[in-house]
Amino acid sequence: IFLVFQSSCSFFKKDTPDISFTPIEKFIDNNPQKKYVLQSGDTLDIKFFYMPELNENVTIRPDGLISLLLIEDIHAEGMAAGELKEKLYERYSSVLKKPDLNVIVRKFSGQKIYVGGEVARPGMIKIDGKISIIQSIMQAGGFKDTAETRNVILIRNSTG
């Protein structure tokens, strides 16, 4: 655990530069309600409770669509599994009496991040699950001696 404490007392000489602290809470994701957003390459199981012959295992295509029996292609990319389930229920309601179904994400296409700048191996890193900033830098071989570690910038895609 990394802790940063800030004291109101000054132990520095007058010519020492000011040091600013960022509260550790700023780096912690406190949103447990965040849902996984489906993306191209994810593999889904579509399970029908009363009509197992319609059960399918599908992969989200690069255009974001999936193809299923009895309905037209449906856009799945960018939705949570629950949202897709609702959309499928609506579509299947026009052709089935009781379209009770579920959407299960079986395989994730793999998230990727990009680490650039003064690291040993800049580029894309495939990840599974969560990864911290320092872990991603270490995956990229760590900082070079020429890196200005006080000027690290984090850019997040916060869609979904």
pLDDT digits 0-9 by tens, 24-43: 445 445 555 578 889 999 99
Per-residue pLDDT, 13: 46
Give the mean model confidence (pLDDT) for residues 68-76. Answer: 96
> How confident is the model over 86-114, as a mean pLDDT?
92
Query: Is residue 145 over pLDDT 70?
Result: yes
pLDDT at site 108? 84
User: Would the pLDDT of 104 be above 90?
Assistant: yes
Higher-pLDDT residue of 80 and 22 is: 80
Highest averaged pLDDT of the listed ranges 27-41, 51-65, 116-130:
51-65
* Residue ranges with strand state E in 1-147: 43-48, 56-59, 65-66, 74-75, 101-107, 111-115, 123-127
Structure tokens at 135: 């872990």
pLDDT at 21: 47
Q: Which of 2-6, 49-53, 121-125 comes out lowest in average pLDDT? A: 2-6
Res. 86: pLDDT tops 90 = yes
CA 106, CA 25: separation in Å to the nearest integer?
Answer: 33
pTM metric for this prediction = 0.59
Q: Judge whether residue 9 has pLDDT over 90.
A: no
What confidence score (pLDDT) does residue 113 get?
Answer: 86
Structure tokens at 70: 């009895």
CA–CA separation, 16 vs 6, rounded Å? Answer: 16
Residue 34 and residue 28: Cα distance in Å, rounded? 13
- Reported as a pLDDT band with limits 50, 70 and 90, residue 12 is very low
If we measure between CA atoms, which residue out of 75, 70, 121 comes closest to residue 95?
70
